[in-house]
Every structure is written in C-alpha cells, then in structure tokens.
C-alpha cells in the first residue's frame, strides 16, 4: 500500500513537471519585449527651451525648476557668453554657475543670431531688419562655418560639461528675397549637430495634424516642431492644451520661451513670470503623476533617435531571458538608456537583470490583464542582457 502511494506520488510529481514544462514552453512563446517610445513608459515627452540667453529669465527658470523638479534647455546665442575671439563675457560666470546646477543643457543658437550668408565662400550683400534698417554685410570665407560650428566650439570651452549637440534655428532676417536655410547651411548643421529645432510646425498622427507636436515614431530631426509662446496667447488654453495633447497623442512637445518678465507683457514673444509659473506647475503635476517625461532637448533627441533606430532581439531558454538591443548610431554620442518592457514568467515576483557589467534586482509589475513584466534601462550596443528570476 505504501509502495503504491509512493509510485502515485512519483507519477504525479513527474506529470506535474511535464505539465509545468508544457505550460512554461507555451508561455515562453508568448513572452515579448519592446523598446518603449518614452523613458519609463510615460505617455509623452515635454521639453522647455529658452531661446537667445536672457540672464534674468534664466535666474527665474532655475528657481522654478528647483522648486518643481523640472529641467530645460538654453538655446544660447554664443555672443551672450563668449565673443567670436573666444573672450568670455561679463555674464559668463553666472551662466556657468546656472548650467552647473544640472537643471539645464545648452543648445547652439549661432554666434550672433544674424544672417550668416548663402554659403561659406565669402560674400557681400544687404538685408533689411524688421525695423526697416538696411544692413550691408561683407563676410570673409568661413563666416558661415564660424557662426554655426565655431560658436558651439567656443561655448564648449565656457560650459566644459556640455556637449552642445543640438541646434536651434535662429529666426534672423535673411538676405533680401530669401527665406530660410540654404542647402550649404543645412549641410554644415547636419554634419555637426544631431537635431535642429524650428519655430513652429505640426506633427501628423495618423492623418491628424497636431499643432507644434512631434510624432515620436516619425520625427523630422532637421526641423523639430515647437510651440512658441506669446504674450497675447489665451495661455491657459493654448499652453495647457499642449501638455494635454502631448499626453493624448503620446508625442514630444517642445515649448519655446523667449524672455520671461517679472511684470505683465503686452505683446510679442516675451511673457510674464506668473503665467510661465502656472504652466511649469501644470507640467510638474503631469510629470509627478508619471504621465510626462520632462527632458532637455539633448535627452529628447538622443532618446527618440535611438528609439527610431533600435532593434531588439529576445531569446528565452528555460527560465532565462536574453535581450540584445542595438541601434545603428554612433555610440560615442548615442549613449542614452532606452526603457525596455520585458514580459516575465507568471510566478516571478522579482527579476535579476544583468547588463553592461552591472547586476540589479527589479520588481515585477503586473499588467491589467494579469501578465507580468519588468521595465529595464538599456544603453544600446552594450552586449547581451540576462534576466533571471530574483
Ligand atoms: Zn532666437
């Protein structure tokens, strides 16, 4: 009798193992992994940019960002911090201390924010400023390259921890009868910077045009759309709706601020601190709730470009998951970790994640349908990640 029971017990044990293995085999087939379009699995990306480089505005933004836990980008006219001859301005030290806080990165907005010519060979001509003044210009060969590339090189000397990878297109007065960037300018910019932000535009979301928004899966890195805020805006509608659109359409929204004044502003691109502060509060709320990722222009560019070039391979052998994440980009520049969502086995509560020489224990999350997954950060092209039960 005892022997029979033992045999049955052994049989049951064997059967349960077989069934368990079947279960895990079929489960293994359904396990998937994907790179998420926004860091941390958030809905959208928001970037706050201040154009040109106005010190009182920067002081205000620093105070706001420290209080609210935000970050942003200064699209800096190099002349504000360093001359064409490489001499730091009187304000350079304060700019350095603001940037060193870590709340901001720097984008290049040219040396002088004035028309840099049709090409690089040297030329002369005229342009008419908005106030009607006719400006005669004469440029030496290499002037265009110096305005675009030289400016960034000099700012890297001033801001030693800044790579200055992004370019913000200046809205200067072009030569008479000409609008926009010449092919020669575009070539110089594209050879030296990873993205260019424009001053408007609309993203296409499956046939729906959404003002000022970028579709993360279909980004034009040579002309990132942005929302330029105006004093005359019905700001609680226009500025706040932009945040809502970022979340609803799962896009990347970029605000373009010029000067932010203490007092009310009647018209133009400068706006009042009180209004900006209300918007920053709204962004901080959505960021704290996990809906928005607040990123600098550099972070947003790196993440979305890597995401659009990423390929992910997953293999499951036994109870071990292996992932290989690659992109086709220069690893010296593109080193931003991407968030990867990985399904794990049903009985896991924790997972051990080994990648890039590091091992960490990750909490398993439970999706609405009861399936289990983890979120991990992976810099592309760092080998194979191994995931086991923790
Ligand atoms: Zn500007």
The last residue of one of the domains, among 270, 303, 336, is 303
257 CA to middle of ligand 1, Å?
A: 10
Q: Which residues on neighbouring strands pair with residue 348, listed in sequence order?
A: none
Nearest to 139 by CA among 151, 152, 126: 126
38 CA to middle of ligand 1, Å?
A: 28
171 CA to middle of ligand 1, Å?
A: 6
Whether residue 175 is found in the same domain as residue 324? no
Report the chain's C-alpha Rg in angstroms: 26
Whether residue 329 is found in the same domain as residue 287? no
280 CA to middle of ligand 1, Å?
A: 21
Q: Quick check: is 9 in a domain?
A: no
48 CA to middle of ligand 1, Å?
A: 14
Give me the pLDDT at residue 29, please. Answer: 55
Distance CA 75, CA 108 (A): 6
Contact 349, 386 (CB under 8 A): no
Q: Quick check: is 370 in a domain?
A: yes
Whether residue 318 is found in the same domain as residue 357? yes
Q: What are all long-range contacts of 268-276, with beta carbons under 8 Å and residues at least 24 apart?
A: 268/230, 268/231, 269/228, 269/229, 269/230, 269/231, 270/231, 271/229, 271/230, 271/231, 271/233, 271/235, 272/231, 273/60, 275/235, 275/239, 276/60, 276/64, 276/229
255 CA to middle of ligand 1, Å?
A: 13
Whether residue 232 is found in the same domain as residue 328? no
Contact 308, 219 (CB under 8 A): yes
Contact 106, 164 (CB under 8 A): yes
76 CA to middle of ligand 1, Å?
A: 8
353 CA to middle of ligand 1, Å?
A: 45
256 CA to middle of ligand 1, Å?
A: 10
- Total tally of structural domains belonging to the chain: 2
pTM of the predicted model as reported, rounded to 2 decimal places: 0.91
80 CA to middle of ligand 1, Å?
A: 12
Give me the pLDDT at residue 4, please. Answer: 44
225 CA to middle of ligand 1, Å?
A: 15
Nearest to 282 by CA among 134, 70, 119, 96: 70
Distance CA 327, CA 57 (A): 38
278 CA to middle of ligand 1, Å?
A: 24
Contact 226, 255 (CB under 8 A): yes
Q: Are strands 320-326 and 365-366 parallel, antiparallel or unpaired?
A: unpaired
319 CA to middle of ligand 1, Å?
A: 55
Q: Quick check: is 28 in a domain?
A: no
301 CA to middle of ligand 1, Å?
A: 19
189 CA to middle of ligand 1, Å?
A: 16
228 CA to middle of ligand 1, Å?
A: 11
The last residue of one of the domains, among 242, 273, 303, is 303
Contact 322, 384 (CB under 8 A): yes
324 CA to middle of ligand 1, Å?
A: 41
Q: Quick check: is 24 in a domain?
A: no
Whether residue 141 is found in the same domain as residue 199? yes
Nearest to 82 by CA among 64, 109, 105: 109
Give me the pLDDT at residue 27, please. Answer: 52
216 CA to middle of ligand 1, Å?
A: 25
Q: Where are the beta strands (DSSP E) in 225-291?
A: 227-228, 252-257, 260-261, 271-272
Distance CA 346, CA 113 (A): 58
| Residue-range definition of the domain harbouring residue 363 | 312-390
* SS3 label, residue 46: strand
Whether residue 290 is found in the same domain as residue 351? no
Whether residue 335 is found in the same domain as residue 370? yes
73 CA to middle of ligand 1, Å?
A: 13
Whether residue 295 is found in the same domain as residue 317? no
Whether residue 339 is found in the same domain as residue 223? no
Whether residue 226 is found in the same domain as residue 346? no
Q: What is the pLDDT along the chain (390 residues), one digit of tens a residue?
A: 444 444 444 444 444 444 444 444 455 558 999 999 999 999 999 999 999 999 999 999 999 999 999 999 999 999 999 999 999 999 999 999 999 999 999 999 999 999 999 999 999 998 888 788 899 999 999 999 999 999 999 999 999 999 999 999 998 888 777 778 999 999 999 999 999 999 999 999 999 999 999 999 999 999 999 999 999 999 999 999 999 999 999 999 999 999 999 999 889 999 999 999 999 999 999 999 999 999 999 999 999 999 999 999 999 999 999 999 999 999 999 999 999 999 999 999 999 999 999 999 999 999 999 999 999 999 999 999 999 999
306 CA to middle of ligand 1, Å?
A: 28
Contact 293, 42 (CB under 8 A): yes
How large is the angle between the packed helices 92-100 and 151-158, nearest 10 degrees? 70
110 CA to middle of ligand 1, Å?
A: 9
52 CA to middle of ligand 1, Å?
A: 5
Contact 316, 309 (CB under 8 A): no
Give me the pLDDT at residue 266, please. Answer: 87
Whether residue 328 is found in the same domain as residue 202? no
* SS3 label, residue 59: helix
* CATH number of the domain bearing residue 140: 3.20.20.370
259 CA to middle of ligand 1, Å?
A: 11
94 CA to middle of ligand 1, Å?
A: 20
């Amino acid at each position: 009798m005892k022997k029979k029971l033992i045999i049955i017990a052994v049989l049951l044990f064997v059967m349960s193992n077989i069934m368990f293995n079947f279960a895990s085999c079929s489960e293994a087939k359904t396990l998937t992994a994907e790179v998420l379009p926004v860091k941390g699995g958030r809905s959208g990306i928001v970037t706050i940019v201040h154009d040109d480089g106005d010190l009182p505005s920067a002081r205000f933004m620093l105070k706001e960002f420290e209080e609210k836990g935000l970050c942003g980008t200064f699209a800096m006219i190099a002349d504000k911090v360093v001359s064409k001859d490489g001499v730091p301005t009187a304000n350079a030290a304060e700019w350095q201390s603001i940037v060193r806080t870590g709340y901001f990165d720097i984008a290049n907005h040219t040396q002088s924010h004035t028309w840099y010519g049709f090409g690089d060979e040297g030329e002369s001509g005229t342009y008419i400023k908005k106030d009607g003044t006719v400006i005669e210009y004469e440029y030496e060969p290499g002037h265009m390259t110096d305005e675009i590339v030289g400016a960034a090189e000099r700012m890297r000397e001033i801001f030693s921890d800044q790579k200055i990878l992004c370019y913000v297109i200046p809205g200067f007065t072009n030569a008479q009868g000409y609008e926009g960037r010449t092919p020669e300018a575009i070539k110089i910019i594209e050879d030296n910077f990873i993205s260019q932000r424009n001053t408007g535009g609309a993203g296409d979301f499956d046939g729906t045009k959404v003002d000022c928004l970028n579709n993360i899966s279909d980004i034009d890195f040579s002309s990132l759309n942005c929302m330029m805020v105006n004093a005359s805006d019905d700001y609680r509608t226009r500025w706040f709706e932009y945040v809502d659109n970022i979340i609803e359409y799962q896009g990347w929204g970029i605000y373009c601020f010029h000067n932010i004044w203490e007092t009310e502003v009647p018209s133009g691109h400068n706006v009042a601190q009180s209004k900006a502060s209300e918007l920053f509060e709204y962004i901080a709320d959505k960021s704290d709730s996990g809906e928005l990722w607040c990123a600098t222009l550099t972070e947003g560019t790196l993440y979305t470009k890597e995401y659009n070039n990423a390929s992910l391979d997953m293999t499951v052998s036994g109870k071990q998951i292996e992932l290989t994440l690659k992109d086709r980009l220069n690893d010296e520049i593109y080193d931003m970790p991407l968030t990867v969502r990985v399904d794990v086995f049903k009985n896991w509560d924790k997972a051990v994640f080994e990648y890039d020489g590091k091992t960490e224990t990750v909490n398993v999350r439970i999706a609405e349908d009861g399936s289990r997954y983890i979120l991990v950060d992976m810099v592309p092209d760092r080998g194979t990640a191994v995931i086991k039960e923790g």
